[in-house]
Amino acid sequence: MEYDVTIGLEVHCELKSTSKVFSPSPNAYSEKSNTNISVIDLGFPGILPVVNKGVIKKALTVATALNCETPEYMIFDRKNYYYPDLPKGYQITQMHYPVGTNGYLDIYVEDQVKRIYIHDTHLEEDTASLDHYDGYSLIDYNRCGVPLLETVTEPCMHSIDEALSFLESLKRLFLYTDVSDAKTELGQIRCDVNVSLAPKGSKELGVKVEMKNINSFYNVKMALESEIKRQTELLNKGMKIEMETRRYDESTMETYRMRSKVEAVDYKYFIEPNIPPIKLTNELKSEVKESLPELAFSKITRYINEYGLSLVDAKTIAKDKELATYYENIINKGKDPKMVSNWVTTRVLGCLSKDEITISEFNFTEEKMVELLEYIESGKISTKQAKDVFYKCIEENKTPKKVIKESGMEQITDEEEIRKIVLEVLEENSEVAKDYNPEKGRMLDFFIGQTMKKSRGKANPEVATKVLKEELLK
């Protein structure tokens, strides 16, 4: 039988900040366990959390970028449960009044525009991390209290491709708005993946299975593939899917059961009494809105519509905010968008990946690119020569001007300078020149050849032709 797949995602993102969300300890990665901690993180009796204002602004930034409604007050809730990674016995989170609700994010899935609906985005504290060994486990409280923003989508994605495109786009949004380093390899982005199957065309959604805490987009893909296969096989056998939470195991690339939703925990949520409501003023909201950068989706769309780029090239450039800035700064100097896109998507990116550097570490700056393109535009060097100049500039960390001067490759375009050479050529070949006949193209070619030779290849051929014709007809 054929099934419609439905996917909903809960994406946790560690926000960057100097100190943690409710305590003054540093929010920093540390090789050494239990060093970035305070009594607040450890849940000592009588402690009081103090909210980090900078973090609230970052959460509000994401909510705004996701086109969410935002509440009048920032209010937190207690989610009560016991686990060794949660020393207080409760997690401070947002349940009743999330910082963002009812939003959406437009993304490209292949060449289609798709709107992904956001149920909510809410701010909470990360838990400690547990390292399991043979027969015992160790707790590292460094992660305790790291600001965590959880974004929950509606069940509105219907393929693995859509889910992955959304994750990439959301990660890009975190990077564009500079709220997080968004490094999945450091666990800064982790997701819960919900998936259900229903008979094709059915109006109701199937029973969902949740896969918790997946730490890379590749594993999201693998977990979804395995889970969709498992559910398809069960349904084909006429069996029911049980609402449950499963865990994805990287080594077997399969999911296994953690707990049934029937035994789901009652978290006894109530409003966190130790944090007074914090007003999200209209001034703050408009300040956040106005300081939002143009996001990747809008850039891609603009590059296609205004600059005539292909979707692939537009996506390639907008993938990285710094690269997009590099590109746009060159365009803003009046350079041709398609030509620049060609240089950026092929040669520039080629160099970056070869040297494993980012655009900000690249020594061929925007200014150098503008200079190089001006040499091509004015016909002083050919496109082929420009490529050599480009690589030489990078290798020797020089400007195009310097490289071109040093190698003497600059074309002579000045008419009078070329005329001097032409006159010398004509004098040296005066016998041939006497018999010049404009009908005989080959004779002109001979003189062009001689002129090029005399200028050691530097005379601009068009100018040389024009001057030769003038002089020969005199």
Can you give the binding site for ligand ADP, defined by CB under 6 A?
6-10, 152-155, 194-196, 205-206, 208
Closest CB 110 distance from ligand ADP, rounded Å: 22
**Backbone CA torsion sign across 26, 27, 29, 34:** positive
Beta strands in 272-319 (DSSP E): 278-279
88 or 208: CB nearest ligand ADP: 208
Q: At closest approach, how far in Å is the CB of 10 from ligand ADP?
A: 5
- Closer by beta carbon to ligand ADP, 208 or else 335: 208
Q: Give, to the nearest 10 degrees, the angle between helix 311-318 and helix 321-331.
A: 110
Minimum CB separation of residue 215 from ligand ADP in Å reads 17
Report in angstroms how near the CB of residue 127 gets to ligand ADP at its nearest.
18
CA distance 105 to 110: 16
Q: How far is the CB of 223 from ligand ADP (least distance, A)?
A: 13
Question: Angle between the 321-331 and 160-176 helix axes, to the nearest 10 degrees?
Answer: 70
| C-beta of residue 81 within 8 angstroms of C-beta of residue 87 | no
**In the complex with ligand ADP, which residue's Cβ is closer, 6 or 19?**
6
The residue number with the shortest CB distance to ligand ADP is 8
The two beta strands, 244-249 and 254-260, are antiparallel
How many Cβ atoms sit within 10 Å of the Cβ of residue 276? 12
Q: Which is nearer to ligand ADP, 128 or 197 (CB)?
A: 197
Task: Identify residue 304 by its one-letter amino acid code.
Answer: I
Type of residue found at 236 = N
378: amino acid identity, one letter = S
Buried b or exposed e, range 340-370, using 16+ CB within 10 angstroms: bbebbbebbbebbeeeeeebeebebbbebbb
Give the nearest distance from C-beta 125 to ligand ADP in angstroms: 19
Give the position of tokens 């509105």.
156
**Beta carbon nearer to ligand ADP, 7 or 372:** 7
Closer to ligand ADP by CB, 154 or 415: give it.
154
- Pull the structure tokens for residue 222: 């693998």
Q: Which residues pair with 198 in a beta bridge?
A: 4
Q: How far is the CB of 179 from ligand ADP (least distance, A)?
A: 21
